[in-house]
Structure 1
């Protein structure tokens, strides 16, 4: 998961980056210009799961307001230096999703961000059940027909995006952007097909029905669905 971080105090970048990295979060440090010219990329399909982390500054209220005014629904989490109930209430009221006090822990930040994201996609609980498959939003690997399926980091990223959008068609480009985005290490454009193929094989092997759980909707993309929903459409 990518996290766009605004922290004007350069001496904090190293510690923040290290803490986020331990939780599997990719820290992308931005300047105030990001809230003028960079928000547009977050409005594109596939970028909704990227989070924004805003450090203590005089501009944080304006940054939150312009981000929300642009139509950005991405998680916004504010880091405060000290606890202040009145300021926290104000920040939440103008559009922040959460306010935490430093020093932060990467694992807690990841959990808070995941909680915001799953509610954004309409999932109140920690998991979603699709047929024989249970997908978790807290980092756990999925369970199929009672067996936990071990996924690689990239396989899990692809699968989580499909799970958040279960029973909805997601384009391959949207999945690609959600996983790789602006990374300088972008792989070949067929890599999503490769991961989808690996996921299908694992799910079909583990499921009692033999269902692969990821459908190809020709010309549109992929959809995580159960054999029951597929049979209903077919009939």
Structure 2
């Protein structure tokens, strides 16, 4: 159902999480060394679980480092229930806390609730890092500042962002955005992407990457 990442330095806790969520139909990757997460491709995960108390790097610090790379919910697993810990964690970009020890039912229910909310939000909003798509309004904003894209430029960006990480040739982008009956040809994609990059660069953002000899992707 969903692709989840769980980070905890206790193997027994990771085994419990994997068992509970695997039975619920989810795919779970478990990591016991928090610093390894910094070198992972995190955009494929639908939700991330982070233990708070870990050696070398605690969950708060790890959340702070990865939050700009992911839009998915981040939930802390912690034995700490003190109010200042909750405030600290939410301030670092977390979405919720699950207090240890937790039951199987609670873990499944809390995760499923966040996944449902995420699906509802993405019907109208798509976020990739600092770039926010208003899907119904066909508008991109960065830090609440609208980016003046043409209709074609917006459609190209939305297509690439919805398929983040995948590489598409200019022919495939043209076909997917404009259809087989488009009035131009795939060479216009190069010019559109050039214009998109120039507009996003004014906000110090460069999410459209060229994969030489193949095409483009949204990082």
* TM-score, with structure 1 as normaliser: 0.47
Partner SS state of residue 219, structure 1: helix
Partner SS state of residue 9, structure 2: coil
Answer yes or no: is the 8 Å Cα contact 2:75–2:97 preserved in 1. yes
Q: Distance in 2 between matches of 1:79 and 1:86?
A: 15
Q: Which residue of 1 aligns with 2:175?
A: 219
Q: Which residue of 2 aligns with 1:60?
A: 59
The Cα of 1:108 is off from its aligned counterpart by 0.8
Distance 1:123 1:109, change over 3 A: farther
Q: Distance in 1 between matches of 2:72 and 2:36?
A: 14
Alignment of 1:24-103 (within 5 A): 24-30=25-31, 31-38=33-40, 41-43=41-43, 47=44, 50-58=46-54, 59-69=58-68, 71-102=69-100, 103=102
Distance 1:52 1:87, change over 3 A: same
Q: Distance in 1 between matches of 2:25 and 2:62?
A: 25
Q: Distance in 2 between matches of 1:81 and 1:21?
A: 23
Q: Distance in 2 between matches of 1:116 and 1:92?
A: 17
Q: Which residue of 1 aligns with 2:10?
A: 9
Gaps of 5+ in 2: 126-157, 167-171, 178-219
Q: Distance in 2 between matches of 1:19 and 1:6?
A: 15
Deviations 1:31-65 (A, max 9, x none): 31333211xx234xxx3x52111123141111000
Q: Distance in 1 between matches of 2:113 and 2:47?
A: 11
Q: Distance in 1 between matches of 2:111 and 2:22?
A: 11
Which segment drifts farther, 114-123 or 10-19? 114-123
Distance 1:37 1:219, change over 3 A: same
Q: Distance in 2 between matches of 1:123 and 1:171?
A: 14
Gaps of 5+ in 1: 125-167, 178-215, 222-235
The Cα of 1:15 is off from its aligned counterpart by 1.4
Distance 1:84 1:123, change over 3 A: farther
Partner SS state of residue 34, structure 2: coil
Q: Distance in 2 between matches of 1:123 and 1:176?
A: 21
